[in-house]
Amino acid sequence: MVQMLETLNDNEEFDVVIVGAGMVGATTALGISGLGLSVLLVDSFALKNTGLSYTPSYDARSTAISWGSKEILNQLDVWSTVSEHASPISHVHVSEKGRFGVTRMSADELKFDALGYVVPNQWLGQCLLQKLEDKQVPLCAPAKVTNIVTEHEHQLIHLESVGASPVITKCIHAHLMIIADGTSSSTAELLGIESEIEAYGQHALIANITTELPNDGVAYERFTKQGPLALLPLTATTSALVWTHDSESVQAFLDMDDKVFCTALQNAFGERLGKITRSGTRNAYPLRLVRAKEQFRPGVVLLGNAAHSLHPVAGQGFNLALRGVASCLEMLKQADQAQHDIGGISRLKRFNDDLANDQAKTIVFSDQVVKLFGHHSALVGLVRDLGLVALDNLPMLKSLFASQAMGLAGKKSRF
167 shares a domain with 297: yes
305 shares a domain with 215: no
Query: Picking from 150-164, 290-304, 399-413, which range would have the lowest pLDDT averaged per residue?
Result: 399-413
Q: Is the predicted pLDDT of residue 372 greater than 80, yes or no?
A: no
362 shares a domain with 226: no
**What is the distance between the alpha carbons of residues 305 and 24, in angstroms, rounded to a whole number?**
9
End-to-end Cα distance, the chain: 24
- Other C-beta atoms within 10 Å of 212: how many? 11
Q: Is the predicted pLDDT of residue 329 greater than 50, yes or no?
A: yes
145 shares a domain with 6: yes
Please say whether the dihedral angle defined by the alpha carbons of residues 231, 104, 86 and 321, taken in this order, is positive or negative.
negative
The more confidently predicted of residues 397 and 236 is 236
Residue 374 lies in a domain: no
Q: Is the predicted pLDDT of residue 380 greater than 80, yes or no?
A: no
Residue 410 lies in a domain: no
**What is the distance between the alpha carbons of residues 288 and 300, in angstroms, rounded to a whole number?**
24
Contact 410, 358 (CB under 8 A): yes
pLDDT value of residue 280: 93
**What is the distance between the alpha carbons of residues 316 and 50, in angstroms, rounded to a whole number?**
29
> Average of pLDDT values for 381-388?
50
The more confidently predicted of residues 144 and 371 is 144
- Bridge partners, 151 (sequence order): 154
Residue 396 lies in a domain: no
**Which of helix, strand or coil describes residue 27?**
helix
Contact 69, 362 (CB under 8 A): no
277 shares a domain with 133: no
> Average of pLDDT values for 343-362?
86
**What is the distance between the alpha carbons of residues 273 and 211, in angstroms, rounded to a whole number?**
6
Contact 333, 75 (CB under 8 A): no
Nearest to 237 by CA among 210, 268, 265: 210
Kind and range of the H or E element at 385? helix 378-393
- The DSSP line for 357-372 is HHHHHHHHHHHHHHHH
Which of 272, 287, 302 lies at the terminal end of a domain, its last residue?
287
pLDDT value of residue 55: 60
pLDDT value of residue 346: 86
79-114 pLDDT, tens per residue? 999 999 999 999 988 887 766 667 888 888 888 899
302 shares a domain with 168: yes
Nearest to 313 by CA among 202, 197, 196, 408: 202
- Other C-beta atoms within 10 Å of 57: how many? 13
Contact 116, 404 (CB under 8 A): no
Burial 213-235 (b: 16+ CB within 10 A, else e): eebebbbbbbbbebbbbbbbbbe
pLDDT value of residue 76: 95
- The DSSP line for 154-171 is EEEEEEEESS-SS--EEE
280 shares a domain with 211: yes
pLDDT value of residue 50: 62
What is the model's pTM? 0.89
pLDDT value of residue 7: 84
246 shares a domain with 97: yes
Ramachandran category for residue 286: left, alpha or beta (phi over 0 → left; psi -120 to 50 → alpha): beta
CATH number at residue 92: 3.30.9.10
**What is the distance between the alpha carbons of residues 411 and 68, in angstroms, rounded to a whole number?**
11
138-173 pLDDT, tens per residue? 999 899 999 999 887 789 999 998 887 888 899 999
Which of 258, 287, 316 lies at the terminal end of a domain, its last residue?
287
Residue 70 lies in a domain: yes
User: Into how many domains does the chain fold?
Assistant: 2
165 shares a domain with 180: yes
pLDDT band for 394, please (50, 70, 90 cuts). low
199-251 pLDDT, tens per residue? 888 898 999 999 999 999 999 988 877 778 889 999 999 999 999 899 999 99
- In the predicted model, what is the mean pLDDT of the chain? 86
Phi, psi of 21, deg, nearest 5:
-110, 30
pLDDT value of residue 381: 47
Contact 307, 295 (CB under 8 A): yes
Residue 386 lies in a domain: no
Give the chain's length. 415
Residue 399 lies in a domain: no
pLDDT value of residue 325: 96
Contact 117, 87 (CB under 8 A): yes
221 shares a domain with 327: no
218 shares a domain with 168: no
Residue 220 lies in a domain: yes
Which of 260, 287, 314 lies at the terminal end of a domain, its last residue?
287
**Which of helix, strand or coil describes residue 59?**
coil
- Other C-beta atoms within 10 Å of 128: how many? 24
The more confidently predicted of residues 180 and 392 is 180
Contact 37, 15 (CB under 8 A): yes
What whole-number percentage of the chain has pLDDT above 90? 53
> Average of pLDDT values for 288-301?
92
Domain that holds residue 75: 62-120+200-287
